[in-house]
Structure 1
Amino acid sequence: MPLDPKRTVQELKHLRHLTGDDSGAQRVAFTDPWLVARAFLKQRLDELPVEQHMDPAGNYWATLKGESERELLIGGHLDSVPNGGWLDGCLNVLAGLEVLRRLNEQYAGKPPVTVRLVDWADEEGARFGRSLYGSSAASGYFDPEQMAKLQDRDGVTLSEALAHVGVRLEDAPQAKAELKHAAAYLELHIEQGPVLEGLGLPLGAVLGTVGVERHTITFHGQAAHSGSTPMNVRKDALLAAGKLSAEIYTIAERHGGVCTIGSVKTLPGIVTSVVETCELTLDQRHLNAEALAAMWQDAQDAANRFAEEGGCTASFGDIWNIEPILFHPELIEAAEASITELTPQSWRLPSGPLHDAAEVARAGVPTEMLFVQSLRGISHNKIEDTLKEHIELSVQALDKLTDRAMAWIQGQNVN
């Protein structure tokens, strides 16, 4: 059974039919459509001589035992955002499934190293606001007490949602045992951005995932009547916030990163009052840790300056952060060699979005990702798309990278 990338495309379309509607993919983690997607995967894995199980965090594993207990992991996620695209996450899993089929046939069910396919649970964080749930449980960067506080918009707790699929939140950290023999980790993903399309290239090798700083910035002014308060004496918190909204673009350009003010909340929030309090959420991302820290410092300095100019004050709060995660240089080289075996040129680029690969890498497992071009750079949207021929190329590239990674694992000295 040779590798059949066309079958991957057909399975992606079948999964879209099973778990989507006119608005897009609906495989939100721990919901019934997500369970349908898991059953779809299991049905196909049942055709292979693989051991299957769900770990204590809810991640699903298929293991093709090899000559060595050292393991090559291939990962992805079947869950989607609401009204999501047909490729985000599930391409990774179904491409990995096709690679498993080829390895099983070529090596009569026993490749040189053990190869494992994993469907990580709740990569998106769309329901509970906490991305990388399953992979962080495996990496050890996981706090069950904090996770127990999470609720979805309907008031359902994460613990209750997990119980629906047979998982206990307090058991989730036990998933760390799954990485005990991991020697390398590979992940294929759509780019979710415009870089490769802009370059006219189908595939790219990923340097790592950017660091992320998420904070609140709150401007404190003074409420006053909108009709009787002269413009020049107002302490308008929204005015200071508006100046910062423009300044973050300058900060991003200066450091070569990205900055986003994603939400704005004002109080008292009525048409007849000057804004007394304005709270912003700020998301900043960069592949370089020093540059990321400088961006956050610049944002704080600018906020204080604009607050002072308007007779206001500023305060700052922490939401969440993750450091930049650089992937393994030798596996990056292997990824580039796999791409150029199929196409004339590759491109190295960082990942702006977070991926499960970041958690696996910071657990100490040598990691690499492949990106395939996204049309219009759009993702998390029903119009998300990639050319069929590029999807097929990406499956081939993952397959070639798998062979290179297995050879690399065999060549490592193990004490």
Structure 2
Amino acid sequence: MLSPSRTVEELKALRELTGDANGAQRVAFTEKWLAARAFLKDKLDALGIPYEMDPAGNLWATLKGKSDTTLVIGGHLDSVPNGGWLDGCLNVLAGLEVLRDIQSRGTPDITLKLVDWADEEGARFGRSLYGSSAFSGYFDVETMRKLKDRDGVPLEDALQNVGITLSDAPKAKEGQQNIAAYLELHIEQGPVLEGMGLPLGAVLGTVGVERHTITFKGQAAHSGSTPMNVRKDAFLAAGKMSQEIYEIAARHNGVCTIGSCTTKPGIVTSVVEECTITLDQRHLDAEHLAAMWQEAQDAARRFAEEGNVEVEFGYLWNIEPILFHPDLIDACAQAIQETAGVVHRLPSGPLHDAAEVARAGIPTVMLFVQSLRGISHNKIEDTLEEHIEMSVTALGKLTDQVIGWVLNHAEGRGPSDQCDAGRPASTTSGQDRAESL
């Protein structure tokens, strides 16, 4: 029988094991992360559910069913430094409870798997969705090989220390075989559900992201002897971008962030010769996202011309908007309706492993539970215990519904045969969904 209160108690136990006064410390490939994994393995051993680590370091637990056709419930145990007690691990421990419940009823009609994705956060090496991207096939070993943490430790060495070989990571894609659907529960990490007074939400998809650098190049000059009207101040042009990105975001109902600003020579007695800012833009609609980036470039060129400086653009990373499977969104909404009496559908601003699974063509959906104050990646991250329990109940109901959906609609079909999973958001449907915010 499903016991949502047990999930709450296990979350608290994991917090005690892997956290401190500053928050969660389950950074991927560290001792605390290994301790979290050992905690999960102990729970699986007690149930007699076997598990194995794939070539990328993802941990898979398998509850064998009458059919090899598989439904996966996923999450991640890793955290950011000084993170919250729920981000990622709620997904895994709620999924564990669902497996317990289904196991108690006898052999299920299909196989169920619980996956703990390795390094969802990217907190240590700056590359989010490491394990799930290896699974999806959107993974380049040579790019990964260049990554180092702040202490200069290469990702490849950190992986080797926990028994993972980087060059083998792409083999994780072989794990897609027989998977018919994927479910993920997560805290919202934002203020929408709390603002609406709702405990749970059905997630439409994950927004697309464009990340770039914008570098303005002017001329260093003495800050005391150079008149204001003849300066080639790179920071002047960069500073104008701060207000501009808010206007771009407003025009498109998206979000834009300048996350960092670096100046050279970086001394108080010199006009700024070079200024580099990083730009993060997000939208659920691919065309709006492309327009936002184009408008940012146009504005940067305009500000550079006004300031008599030059501008260059650098690519950091991007991912297209990913819409989840409409049938599974409906199933999720129904499970929430049955659990909470009211449901809201919303997009996810943060990225999640679910996006990579959907990119692989596997029908996917996410379930959100309200975050207090909309805060995450912080030790004050929290969700009401009654809402946590409701989310576990809803995940259980969703799992039962999707098992039925798989049996009726997806039995024996591979990911390439599934429709509407992980497709880029179109202009019309994406905008309509974005307006649900």
Does the aligned pair in 1 maintain the 2:263–2:276 contact within 8 Å? yes
CA deviation after TM superposition for structure 1 residue 47, in Å: 1.8
Residue 18 (structure 1) aligns with:
17
Number of equivalences:
412
Query: What residue identity is the alignment partner of 1:93?
Result: V
**Residue in 2 aligned with 1:242?**
239
* Corresponding residue of 1:37: 36
Distance 2:340 2:12 in 1: 25
* 2:292 maps to which of 284, 291, 295: 295
CA distance in 2, matches of 1:48, 1:344: 33
Counterpart of 1:373 in structure 2: which amino acid? Q
Q: Look up the equivalent residue of 1:16 and give its one-letter code.
A: R
Matched-pair contact (CA < 8 Å) for 2:372–2:383 = yes
Match of 2:170 in 1: 173
Does residue 1:276 correspond to 2:273, yes or no?
yes
Instruction: Answer yes or no: is 1:53 the counterpart of 2:52.
Output: yes
The CA deviation string for residues 201-250 of structure 1, in whole angstroms up to 9 with x for no partner, is 00000000000000000111111111111111111110111111110000
Aligned position for 1:190: 187
What is the rounded CA distance, in whole Å, between the counterparts of 1:275 and 1:163 in structure 2? 43
Shift of 1:51: 2.2
From 390, 393, 397, the counterpart of 1:393: 390
Q: Which residue does the alignment assign to 1:77?
A: 76
> How big is the shift at 1:314?
1.0
- The residue that corresponds to 2:250 in the other structure is 253
- 2:306 matched to 1:309? yes
| Shift, 1:48, TM fit | 1.9
Tell me what 1:62 maps to.
Answer: 61
Identify unmatched segments of 5+ residues in structure 1. none
Matched, 1:201 2:181: no
Secondary structure in structure 2 of the residue aligned to 1:215: strand
Q: Distance in 2 between matches of 1:402 and 1:343?
A: 16
- C-alpha separation between the residues in 1 aligned to 2:142 and 2:115? 25
1:3-152 equivalence runs, <5 A: 3-106=2-105, 108=106, 110-152=107-149
* One-letter code aligned to 1:199: M
Q: Say which SS state the counterpart of residue 69 (structure 1) adopts.
A: coil
1:369 aligns with 2:366: yes
Are 1:266 and 2:248 matched, yes or no? no
Gap regions ≥5 residues in structure 2: 414-437
Q: Which residue of 1 aligns with 2:434?
A: none
> 1:49, CA displacement in angstroms?
3.4
Structure 1: distance between partners of 2:10 and 2:155: 30
CA distance in 2, matches of 1:60, 1:130: 19
Residues in 2 aligned to 1:176 and 1:412: alpha-carbon distance in whole angstroms: 24
Code of the aligned partner of 2:155? L
Write the deviation string for residues 48-95 of structure 1: whole angstroms up to 9, x where unpaired. 232210111110010001111110000000000000000000000000
Residues 44 and 50, structure 2, Cα contact 8 Å, conserved in 1: no
Residues 272-315 of structure 1 show CA distances to partners (whole Å, capped at 9, x for unaligned) of 11111100000000000000000000000000111111111211
Q: In the alignment, does 2:331 pair up with 1:339?
A: no
Moved more, 404-413 or 246-255: 404-413
1:83-138 alpha-carbon deviations (Å, 9 max, x no partner): 000000000000000000000001x2x10110000000000000000000000011
Preserved CA contact (<8 Å) 2:222 2:271: yes
Q: State the distance in 2 between where 1:351 and 1:22 align.
A: 29
Q: Which amino acid aligns with 1:261?
A: I
CA contact (8 A) 1:49 1:64 kept: no
In structure 2, C-alpha distance between the alignment counterparts of 1:320 and 1:327, rounded to whole Å: 21
Counterpart-to-counterpart distance in 1, 2:49 and 2:17: 24
Q: Secondary structure at the match of 2:340?
A: coil
d(CA) in 2 for partners of 1:39 and 1:406? 29
Give deviations 1:331-388, integer Å, cap 9, x for gaps.
Answer: 0000000000011211111111100000000001000000000000000000000000
Contact persistence 2:262–2:277 (CA under 8 A): yes
| Contact 1:24/1:84 (<8 A) preserved | yes
Q: Specify the SS of the correspondent of 1:227.
A: coil
Distance 2:64 2:200 in 1: 30
The residue type equivalent to 1:409 in the other structure is V
Separation (CA, whole Å) in 1 of partners of 2:324 and 2:125:
28
